[in-house]
Structure 1
Amino acid sequence: MSTGWVTGNLYRLCDWFYRLAFLNLIWIAFTLAGFILFGIFPSTTAAFSVIRKWLRGEKDVPLVRTFWQSYRKEFIHSNKLGILFGLTACILLVDLKFVQTLHGVAFISLTSIFSLLIILFVFTLIYIFPVYVHYELRTLLYIRQAFLIAIVNPIQTILLVLASVLSFYVTMMLSGLFLFFGISGISLLIMWYSLRIFMNMDMEIKKHLAPES
């Protein structure tokens, strides 16, 4: 193993750490600028947009400018998605609380149904940002596309959710790590895996559309 190879890979690793830490700080700043409630979805959308560019080889894009352009452009539209997901989450949790007051067969059956709905909600949520920054769709179609991807790839989605939860837990447990990598690190993981799924989907579509010889 040559020294140049080790040095080159160490440099790339440090470069990724630097960019992810800077991106995370920007995400925090713009989330606070939107008073958290109206800043979290535009900021997360902008973070995924930047990471998508990095993973597709555009590593020299101006970070702050690219983030701000995405944040400003998608502020209204991404907040529409945020409101939809927020209302859905509230409805599911309120219904689940109500179901927990029941007894017997009604409790068991309805708890199972609402637990499944919450799982599907989480599965859809984990893909919504990659789908949003990768495709040009109408608002409800983003949700449908994210849902379909989750349903078609159940095992991979479960593993991705577990990896994301583990990453979040680790960054929260290690003092100060969330400040620099809490959101950007998880976003990188989700976007990287989602791009692989999108690539496989595109290949399957091209295969079916290709004329038979």
Structure 2
Amino acid sequence: MNNVFGRMQPVFEWITNLAALNITWLVFNLPIAYLSLLLVLVEHTSQILMIILTIVVFSPFLLFPATTAMFGVVRKWFMKEEIKIVQSFWKFYKENYKRSLFGGFFLSFLWLVGVVDFLYIKSDVSFVNFIVLFILAFLFLYTLYFFSDTVHTESKLTQSLKNVLIITIANPIFSFGIVVICIIVLYVSISYLPFLIILFTGPIIAILGFYGYQKVFTTILNVQK
């Protein structure tokens, strides 16, 4: 029996760490979490746009710094470092706030344009819908890699945005697989297992995003040697 519990202990630790990180991330994003819940409940396009606009306004100040901090903790996990989650989260939050803020202004604008296009430029032509969804998927991947690059390198913001673009398109098939898995996680969390949103969804996507970024980033470095 003790042997069984000994084998299960790492699993319990991982579950606890994921939940602690996700809850910490949500606490720092309470206004956006509340607005996102409203977004699911409203039906009229005008209400949806108003909520989306409010989320976009808040995102550079709340969502981007908090998500960068979450990616910072995930990076430490990849480096197999023992850390205290809440203390480390707060440390990464403060260290990267300014960079996340200005990067958030740029990316929030792109997301606003992309979502408005999706809502208003819907077409019966499946090809047009495919193009819009492809752009949003690309932007989703670019955003994940931006968070990863922010905590993994010390390059200036403008250079980081350029580097992330290169990393995003460097291995499209692999990166597309990362996006598909992340979308599946989001879909299952929202549609079938909403408790995952409270406990696990954020860190799981951060782990997938950083794994994809690190894989492509390392490949590029090896090619340049």
Q: Same fold (TM over 0.5)?
A: yes
Deviation, structure 1 residue 190: 1.7
Which residue matches 2:53?
Answer: none
Which residue matches 1:210?
Answer: none
Q: Is the 8 A contact 2:146 2:161 kept in 1?
A: yes
Which residue matches 2:197?
Answer: 178
Gaps spanning 5+ residues in structure 2: where?
34-57
CA distance in 1, matches of 2:175, 2:222: 20
Distance change (3 Å), C-alpha of 1:114 and 1:129: same
Compare 183-192 and 38-47 and name the one that shifted more.
183-192
Deviation, structure 1 residue 118: 3.7
Correspondence list, 1:19-58, <5 A: 19-32=17-30, 37=59, 38-58=61-81
Distance change (3 Å), C-alpha of 1:96 and 1:10: closer
* Partner of residue 84 from structure 2, selected from 62, 68, 72: 62
* Partner of residue 189 from structure 1, selected from 208, 212, 222: 208
SS in 2 for 1:129: helix
Distance change (3 Å), C-alpha of 1:152 and 1:20: same
Distance change (3 Å), C-alpha of 1:174 and 1:116: closer
Q: Is the 8 A contact 1:124 1:143 kept in 2?
A: no
SS in 2 for 1:61: coil
Percent identity for Structure 1 against Structure 2: 26
RMSD value over aligned CA atoms?
Answer: 2.9
User: Which residue type is aligned with residue 70 of structure 1?
Assistant: F
Deviation, structure 1 residue 71: 0.8
Gaps spanning 5+ residues in structure 1: where?
207-213
SS in 1 for 2:209: helix
SS in 2 for 1:183: helix
Q: Is the 8 A contact 1:48 1:129 kept in 2?
A: yes
Aligned residues: 198
